[in-house]
Amino acid sequence: MSCLCLLWGCTQSDEEKHFYENLNPKETYAEVIDYFNDSVSYYHCVYDGMEVMDRDVYDQGGYCSVVSKTYYEEEDSTYLDYTIVDHNQFHSLYYEEGAYHYQIMDDYSLNYDHMYIEPVDYDHNHIIDIERHEKDNGLEIVIRSKETTQYQETDEEHFVSYVIDTLFVNNNGFIEKEDIRYYSDESFEHRLDEYQTLVFSDFNRKESDDFEKEIDFMESCEGLDVHEIRDQMEISQD
């Protein structure tokens, strides 16, 4: 059977196609990530964890550019964090004397090579098992893993938690939501407060020209206060 049939599923009439047929859970997860990286050139993601962050990711051919925006209000303060990672350049706004100012850093070390930015580091987490569940509107992939966090490289103390990472894959083959929950025990009974939820949308609806507009907009924020910037932004609010 060809790789195309494994990914899309082949029928005798070839009129109806289904994603990720004839794959075990581990193979399904790998194909879902590969398909996302190969087929998505832009997406919008709302990240909800300790804070709410909007993220726009653009495929620039060989690397990815990432625009991140966080905004929330508390009783006595307003918080704005606005950054752009573009290959080896880091664009940002910093606050000083009542206004925001634009700055750019060259030789930035954190680069994004793939469109899907993993919220869980499976290069270091120990995967316990992976399950695949068929749903009417797509697939559900559940990954259970053990995570060991060392707070500093020289610190012998470390924190162990257990993670359930659930990916919801729609009928178009794309990840549309990811829920990550943390537990203190290997039986996954005692949940910790920490969590991550990511919602993906607007696949392939923007292009590189739209990314250049993001840089132009950030530069135009020079000297503005937080409310002036907020009024011109498309951003979720906590």
Question: What would the pLDDT profile of 167-182 be if each residue is shown by its tens digit?
Answer: 999 999 999 999 999 9
Residue with tokens 């990914």: 7
Closest by CA position to 86, among listed 53, 54, 57, 49: 57
How confident is the model over 39-65, as pLDDT tens digits? 999 999 999 987 889 999 999 999 999
Contact indicator for 44, 54 with CB cutoff of 8 Å:
yes
Q: Per the structure block, which two tokens stand in for 185?
A: 């025990």
Closest by CA position to 49, among listed 148, 163, 165, 194: 194
Q: Is the pLDDT at 149 greater than 90, yes or no?
A: no
Rounding to the nearest 10 degrees, give the CA dihedral for residues 145, 148, 153, 157.
180
Q: How confident is the model at residue 4 (pLDDT cuts 50, 70, 90)?
A: very low
Contact indicator for 202, 42 with CB cutoff of 8 Å:
yes
Distance CA 147, CA 39 (A): 30
Higher pLDDT residue, 183 or 15?
183
Share of the chain above pLDDT 90, in %: 71
Higher pLDDT residue, 1 or 59?
59
Distance CA 184, CA 159 (A): 10
How confident is the model over 181-217, as pLDDT tens digits? 999 999 999 999 999 999 999 999 999 999 999 999 9
Distance CA 149, CA 159 (A): 5
List the 52-59 sheet strands across, edge first: 99-105, 89-96, 78-86, 64-73, 52-59, 42-48, 191-201, 175-183, 158-170, 138-150, 126-135
Q: What is the pLDDT at residue 205? A: 97
Displacement of CA 23 from its chain's centroid (Å): 24
Closest by CA position to 118, among listed 36, 184, 7: 36
Distance CA 161, CA 182 (A): 6
Average pLDDT of the residues in 76-85: 90
Q: What is the pLDDT at residue 111? A: 84
Q: Per the structure block, which two tokens stand in for 46?
A: 């709302």
**What residues does 105 pair with on adjacent strands?**
90
Q: What is the pLDDT at residue 237? A: 60
Q: What is the pLDDT at residue 154? A: 60
